[in-house]
Amino acid sequence: MNATSAPGDTPALDPDLVLDTLLARGYREMAAVPCSYLGPLLARAARRPDVTYFPATCESEAVSVAAGAWFTGRRVVVALQNSGLGDALNPLASLCLPYGVPVLLLMSVRGEPGTRDEPHHDVMGRTTARILDDVGIAHAWVPADSAGFVRAVEEAERAMDASRRAYCLLIRKGTFRDGPQTVPLGRSVPQQVPGTGDRLSRAQAIRWLRERLPEEQVVVTTTGLTGRELYAAGDRPTHLYLSGSMGCASAVGLGIARAGGRPVAVFDGDGASLMRFGTLVSVAASGPDLLHVIYNNGCYDSTGGQPLQGPVPFAATADLLGYAATAYCAAPAELPSAYGKLMAQPGPRLLEIKVTTDPVPAPRVPLALPEIATRLRALYGSPVTTATAS
């Protein structure tokens, strides 16, 4: 990557200046898949009445929406994280590039060489620029100063006008001036004190279930706070904490459950479930003995509380798709009967629990990722050699 600002530069970008610069060039809409690095920008976009904020369920959807808007003469900027570049490549490579649809990408970069980040970001961190080069998408780092950002957008515009190809502006952690990262009230779920009133926090719901699930039960968690909160509730070798692979927990759980021999549960988030909503069809059709738990708070809690598109009836949808049993819990008092009903029923079951947002992040899981994988595989009688695990 040919960086125009080095890691450690003092961040100075005002999110409002970024949005004003984009608005001046006709970008009145933003299709976004949340990332904490982009949090201040997304929060401002969601608050401003002159910006239409579109919370996409996945990166390929965001790119496709922007491409569709281009056909109508509108400009939509796409905000995403480089971990989702692989998902975005499908419409970029098969729609935008061959059809000559220029899309402007604002991409946060996780796992950049020389920086400290979660290990699941390492691969994309060191290959993002190479992937963009290979598919023919020009890119540049966003400088952490106002004048530099304006110049970067101007250069992106010139390149897109000349080539009718997508252009990617790469963004480092801390590029944006600190500010509120949560979306405004009215565009997300009401903020509540966790665990008070008539709703549980996700951490409390996780702890409640963990205390009741059999010790031999495999539990696959989605990335982010869900896995951290399960670890904080008490680690077991049957726990598979996904650090990354957002949206894939239900498919991983399905793959494990098809082996039989052990009960399997998936602890999922509402935003993560929407990313791969089609997996619900596969689970229902395959009929494994699988408990799918979706903690529903209407937002992407791990990245700053950005909103989902709208209320999603997960339990009702799973029932229509053919799950063996479903249950919906809107209050703590409903959880015991719902749990008892589902655990008495074999086959695929879905438990949707309405939870509060959690303002305090849980500590990260301290285990090495290969260690987590190896210990679970060993429970199935398949030890992993060092060469295979590395």
Spell out the per-residue pLDDT of the chain, length 390, in tens. Answer: 443 443 444 557 999 999 999 999 999 999 998 888 898 999 999 999 999 998 888 888 899 889 989 988 899 999 999 988 998 999 899 889 998 999 999 999 988 887 877 777 778 888 899 999 999 999 999 998 999 999 999 999 999 999 999 999 999 988 988 755 444 433 333 333 334 457 889 999 999 999 999 999 999 998 888 999 999 999 999 999 988 777 888 988 998 998 888 999 999 989 888 888 888 998 999 888 999 999 998 877 777 677 777 788 999 999 999 999 999 999 999 999 999 999 999 999 999 999 988 766 788 899 998 899 899 989 988 776 655 444
Q: Residue 16 has what pLDDT?
A: 95
Tell me the domains of the chain and their CATH numbers. 15-171 (3.40.50.970), 200-389 (3.40.50.970)
First and final C-alpha spacing in the chain = 27
Q: Residue 360 has what pLDDT?
A: 65
The closest alpha carbon to 252, from 240, 243, 262, belongs to 240
Q: Residue 11 has what pLDDT?
A: 54
- Whole-angstrom CA distances from 61 to 67, 71, 91, 131 are 10, 16, 8, 20
Give the pLDDT confidence of 208-224 residue by residue, as tens digits: 999 999 999 999 998 88
The closest alpha carbon to 297, from 217, 366, 225, 346, belongs to 225
Strands (E), the chain: 27-32, 52-55, 75-81, 104-108, 138-141, 167-171, 200-201, 218-221, 239-241, 264-269, 290-296, 299-300, 306-307, 325-329, 348-356
What counts of helices (H) and strands (E) characterise the chain?
Answer: 16, 15
Q: Residue 117 has what pLDDT?
A: 73
Q: Could you give phi then psi for residue 196, rounded to 5 degrees?
A: -115, 165
Does residue 136 come out as left (phi exceeding 0), alpha (psi in the -120 to 50 range) or beta?
A: left
CA 390 – CA 382 distance, rounded (Å): 16
Tokens 């790119």 locate to 63
CA 146 – CA 76 distance, rounded (Å): 21
